[in-house]
Structure 1
């Protein structure tokens, strides 16, 4: 059962929503890459609501089942481009900060794959989904009921 309603407090969450929309709307990150990052961070954090939402949004955007199913093992398959692999590694290191700072080696790979503006967008995307994960986990928002908005499903 929910602890509190995210919808009821949605006005307070508008800055986080604006950040999320900015990273989606800038056009510097491919929609497929965005969905993979949102899914992977949500997997790491164990956010059922966000996994439900982003898996459905990814499918509606044309992502295939195999790539979604193998996402936890992305390092062990050739299904993801170099740019996607770098983005996933970046997302993981930013999400799991317990080991310290993001490595220089990963930063060098990221700068080879992304210009500075796109890398900032990727970083903000990871920050935003970590925030949404934590909000929904704290609220105990139940997963499994999300419906893709008609505009996304088209």
Structure 2
């Protein structure tokens, strides 16, 4: 079986795909309402996609982050964000929470991660970050399952 043999979920079930698109728009609005910068939202999406190894979403959100004003340095160091000084306390908490939601099968969302997020993020920000991670994980699974093509 090759990539061309994969079922494209969006084409086979367009009504479900449209529902995911609609949810994504709502999640993006929630993130903006919580005060998350558009560029950083793309970094959160990018981080989930890095963990999930979704090439299609990696390319898209790298480009989107740059277009939204994120620096190439912040994009480039994202896999090792803990080792850098590029992110403030709120951003670090959001990245940690995004990783925990993405890796939920590993050890749920540890109480320590949630408690640390609650120290610097409002309830609205926590909800926005968690919804972003949940939504991005949906997109990663759609793109990976359908093997969206990623070429030069």
TM-score (norm 2): 0.87
Count of aligned positions: 145
Q: Verify: 1:5 aligned to 2:8, yes or no.
A: yes
**Alpha-carbon shift at residue 57 of structure 1 (Å):** 0.6
Stretches of structure 2 lacking an aligned partner (at least 5 in a row): none
**Alpha-carbon shift at residue 38 of structure 1 (Å):** 0.4
Residue pairs, 1:7-26, within 5 angstroms: 7-8=10-11, 9-26=13-30
Which of 88, 93, 102 pairs up with 1:86? 93
Aligned to 2:47: 40
Q: Give the stretch that moved more between structures: 62-71 or 25-34.
A: 25-34
Tell me if structure 1 keeps the 8 A contact 2:39–2:64. Answer: no
**Alpha-carbon shift at residue 113 of structure 1 (Å):** 2.1
**Alpha-carbon shift at residue 102 of structure 1 (Å):** 1.3
Residue pairs, 1:1-150, within 5 angstroms: 1-2=3-4, 3-8=6-11, 9-26=13-30, 27=32, 28=34, 29-144=36-151
**Alpha-carbon shift at residue 137 of structure 1 (Å):** 0.4
Task: Output one character per residue of 1:58-114: Cα deviation in whole Å (capped at 9) or x when no partner.
Answer: 111111111111100000000111111111111111111233221222111211222
- Measured on the aligned residues, the alpha-carbon RMSD in Å equals 1.6
Greater relative contact order, per chain length (Cα 8 Å cut-off, separation 6+): 1
Higher share in helix: 2
Q: 1:81 to 1:13 in 2, by over 3 A?
A: same
